[in-house]
Structures are given as C-alpha cells and as structure tokens.
Amino acid sequence: MAVLEVNDLTMDFGGLRAVDRVNLEVNDGEIVALIGPNGAGKTTFFNCVTGVYKPTGGQVKIAPPNGSPEEIQGVQPHKITHKGLARTFQNIRLFQNMTVLENVMIGRHSRLHSGIGGAIFRGKKTREEEKQLIFDSYQILKKIGLEKWVNEQAKNLPYGEQRRLEIARALATDPFLLLLDEPAAGMNPHETTSLVDLILKLREEEGVSVLLIEHDMSLVMILSERIYVMDYGKRIAAGTPAQVKKDPVVIKAYLGEDIDA
C-alpha cells in the first residue's frame, strides 16, 4: 500500500521547469531513494511535497497507516508536518542557538497544546505536558545517540552530529514518512555507516517509511529497495538498485561518474 503517491508533479520557476511531471510512490515500510545529478530538481521535489513550494501542477496524495487518505498539494508546511511528513534539509537548518534538546522539543510542538495562558500561569496540565515533553525528547536523543550533547548549543556540534540531530528533530514530529535530503553529505565513511544503521533501525523500530535523496551511490545501493532517477526535472528511470545500475539512460545521465563507487 502506498503511503505517498505523487502524480505528474510539476514546478516552474519563471521559465525554468525544475520538476517536470514526476510520478513517484513510497509504500508502507519502504526505503526509497531519489537520485540524479546536481540541479536535477530533487530538492525542489521535496519542497513541493512538504509544502515549502506550492507546486505548479500535479497531485500529492498521502495515506497515513492509521488515517484517511487525502491530497496535500499546496497545503502549508506546518499542516503537512502535522499530517505526518517530516523532513531534513540538504543545507543543515538547525536552530543554531538553541540546545540540542530544545531542537528536538520544537519537533514535538505540533503534538502539544499549551498556550500563552499555560506559559504564564504554568498550571498542572502545562507542567505535566512539559515534563513529558522533556522526557520524550530525551528518549529520542538516546535513540539517535545524541544524548551526551543534550545541553549543548546545536551550532557547537560536529558536522555529522548536526545531520543526525536534524533526523532526531524530524522524528520528534511523529511522522509516518521521513524525507531525508542528502543525509550523508559531508560525512566521513564511519559516520555514513552508522547513518545506514540508524535509518534501518528507525524503519524497524518506528515503522517509518523513508524517502531519501542521496549522492553517495554505495549508500543508496545498500539502503534502498527502489530507486527513482531524475535528470533535468524529469524522471528518467525507476526500479530496483540492480535494474537502475544497468540502465543505459541512467549511466548516460551520470556520464563520467562511477555508479559502482
């Protein structure tokens, strides 16, 4: 069953068609990769799905495992997050001056309720909500392996850990689908290996489906069950890693780049 189904998604920037009638599907519990050369339109595709851009055309349908299916194209980003899609960013966008724990706490915002009155009077309900929030956020940090940084400002984290914190923060929103935009970019081989373990673990334990953009081919080949390939805004291939690897169209798009790397 598809938790995400994108039909004919199109995004124009003035005269530039960055995403051109792309179809894509993610099934429940699947790890799917979206690859393609730089400037192919992968990040733009993510931005359309998560509401950062309003797509020029096409549909984005979601079917949460425990909810009713609906179309979400053009819906505001915070509402889409609330519906269960969470993302990370290619160029890290953490809340730099907040602590690691607070970054995760922000992720839980849309699942909680206390308002201004609660903040000022700090009644029993607010205090309990806050306590639970601190506890839950800490558990998430432990799961991702960031608990030793709990009170550190996000900007002081090593690069690889910042990428993991982005994942922790996304996870805190209780998603059924994680969209990861180049999660391994800038990581060393050791960090990449533990990232693979983490993503597999999250699918196992949290039951999330994953759609990831990645440049690192070896990572994509290990991790994903299916791969979509984009070039110049168009979807040029789709299939299992083995199929995609042999596809002449893909090889041509990556001319000069070694797919087996």
Partner 1 sequence: MLKDKLMRSFFVSLWFAVLTFPIMVVRVNTIEDTVTWRWGNLIMVLFGSFVLSFLWSIALERKSTGSKKQTIVSKTFNNLRATVSDNRNIKLALVAIILLFVVIFPFITSFYQMSIMNTALMYVMLGLGLNIVIGLGGILHLGYIAFFLVGSYSYALLNIHFGLNFWLALPIGGFLALILGILIAVPVLRLRGDYLAIVTLAFGEITRIVVENWSSLTGGPSGIRSIPRPAIPGLDLNLTDTAKLVYFIMIVLAALTIFITIRLKDSRIGRALIAMREDEIACQSMGINTTRMKVIAFALGSVFAGVAGVVFAANTTFINPASFTIWESVMVLLIVVLGGMGSIPGVVVAALVIKLLPEYLRAFSQYRMLVFGAVLIIMMIFKPDGLLPEKRKHYSFTDDDKAEMKAEGK
Ligand X SMILES: Nc1ncnc2c1ncn2[C@@H]1O[C@H](COP(=O)(O)OP(=O)(O)O)[C@@H](O)[C@H]1O
Q: Which residues, 6+ apart, have CB-to-CB distance to 80 below 8 Å?
A: 49, 50, 51, 72
Contact status: 107 vs partner 1 (CB under 8 A)? yes
Name which of residues 165 to 204 contact partner 1 (CB under 8 A).
169, 173
Selected from 90, 138, 222, 254, the binder of partner 1 by CB under 8 A is: 138
In whole angstroms, how far apart are CA 229 and each of 17, 24, 59, 239?
A: 17, 10, 19, 9
Q: Minimum CB separation from Mg ion for residue 183, in Å? A: 12
Q: Which is nearer to partner 1, 1 or 116 (CB)?
A: 116
Contact status: 90 vs partner 1 (CB under 8 A)? no
Name which of residues 21 to 50 contact ligand X (CB under 6 A).
36, 38-44
> Would you state the structure tokens that stand for residue 119, as one six-digit string?
């903040």
| Burial category of 78 from C-beta neighbours within 10 Å (exposed 0-12, middle 13-18, buried 19 and up) | exposed
CB 186 within 8 A of CB 159: yes
Q: Which residues, 6+ apart, have CB-to-CB distance to 219 below 8 Å?
A: 184, 192, 195, 196
Contact status: 43 vs Mg ion (CB under 5 A)? yes
CB 35 within 8 A of CB 182: no
Give me the phi and psi of 20, to 5 degrees please. -125, 100
Q: Which of 26, 35, 30 is CA-nearest to residue 217? A: 35
Q: Which is nearer to partner 1, 202 or 220 (CB)?
A: 202
A 10 A CB-CB count for 70 gives 12
39 binds, among partner 1, Mg ion, ligand X, none (CB under 5 to 8 A by kind): ligand X
Give me the phi and psi of 169, to 5 degrees please. -65, -40
Contact status: 131 vs partner 1 (CB under 8 A)? yes
Contact status: 206 vs partner 1 (CB under 8 A)? no
Q: Which is nearer to Mg ion, 107 or 183 (CB)?
A: 183
Measured in whole angstroms, the distance separating CA 239 from the mean position of its chain's CA atoms is 21
Contact status: 125 vs partner 1 (CB under 8 A)? no
* Helix H or strand E segment including 143: helix 124-144
Q: Minimum CB separation from Mg ion for residue 227, in Å? A: 16
Name which of residues 22 to 51 contact partner 1 (CB under 8 A).
50-51
Contact status: 81 vs partner 1 (CB under 8 A)? yes
Contact status: 183 vs ligand X (CB under 6 A)? no
State the number of binding residues for ligand X (CB under 6 A). Answer: 11
Q: Kindly list the residues in this chain that would bind ligand X in the complex (CB under 6 A).
A: 13, 16, 18, 36, 38-44
Q: Kindly list the residues in this chain that would bind Mg ion in the complex (CB under 5 A).
A: 43, 90
Q: Kindly list the residues in this chain that would bind partner 1 in the complex (CB under 8 A).
A: 50-52, 76-78, 81-82, 86-87, 89, 93-99, 101-102, 105-107, 109-112, 114-116, 118-120, 122, 126, 129-131, 133-135, 138, 147, 150-151, 153, 169, 173
